[in-house]
Amino acid sequence: MTVCIFASSSSRIDNEYSLAAGELGKLLAEAGMDVVFGGGGIGLMGRLADSVLSNNGSITGVIPGFMKEEGWDHHGVTKMIVTHDMGERKRQMFALADAVVALPGGVGTLEELTEAITLKQLGLFKGSIIILNTRGFYNTLIRFLEELIDGQFLRFEHKGIWQLASTPEEAVGLLLKNEPWIHDPRSIAKI
Amino acid sequence: MAIAVDDQNFDEIVVKSGKPVMVDFWAEWCGPCRMIAPIVEEISKEYADRAVVAKCDVDNSPGVAAKYGIRNIPTVLFFKDGKVADKQVGAVPKNNFLTKLNALL
Residue range A136-179, pLDDT digits in tens: 999 999 999 999 999 999 999 999 999 999 999 999 999 999 99
Q: Which chain A residue shows the shortest CA-CA distance from B75?
A: A82
Burial class (CB in 10 A: 0-12, 13-18, 19+), A171: buried
ipTM score for this prediction: 0.82
Residue A75's Cβ-count burial label (10 Å; 0-12, 13-18, 19+) is: exposed
Question: Which residues of A are less than 8 Å from B32 in CB distance?
Answer: 81-84, 88, 92
The predicted model gives B88-100 an average pLDDT of 95
Q: pLDDT digits over B45-54, tens only?
A: 999 999 999 9
- Out of B33, B53, B58, B65, the active site residue is B33
pLDDT band of B44, cuts 50, 70, 90: very high
**Among partner residues B27, B58, B89, which is closest to A82 by beta-carbon distance?**
B89
Q: Does the annotation mark B56 as catalytic?
A: no
Helices (H) and strands (E) in chain A — how many of each?
A: 7, 7
Residues 149-178 of A with CB under 8 A from B: none
Contacts of A59 in chain B (CB under 8 A): none
Whether B14 and B23 have beta carbons less than 8 Å apart is answered as yes
Q: Looking at the complex, does the CB of residue B32 fall below 8 Å from at least one CB of chain A? A: yes
pTM for the model: 0.90
Residue B71 sits in a domain whose CATH number is: 3.40.30.10
- The pLDDT of B69-96, averaged and rounded, is 96
**What is the architecture, at CATH level 2, of domain A2-177?**
3-Layer(aba) Sandwich (3.40)
pLDDT-flagged residues of chain A (< 50): none
In chain A, what are the domain boundaries?
Answer: 2-177
Domain that holds residue B24: 3-102
- What is the pLDDT at residue A190? 85
Name the residue facing A83 among B27, B29, B32 (closest C-beta).
Answer: B32
Q: Tell which residue, B9, B8, B23, B5, has the closest CA to residue B84.
A: B23
pLDDT the model gives residue B102: 97
Contact A60, A36 (CB under 8 A): yes
Q: What is the pLDDT of residue A191?
A: 80
CB atoms A79 and B90 under 8 Å: no
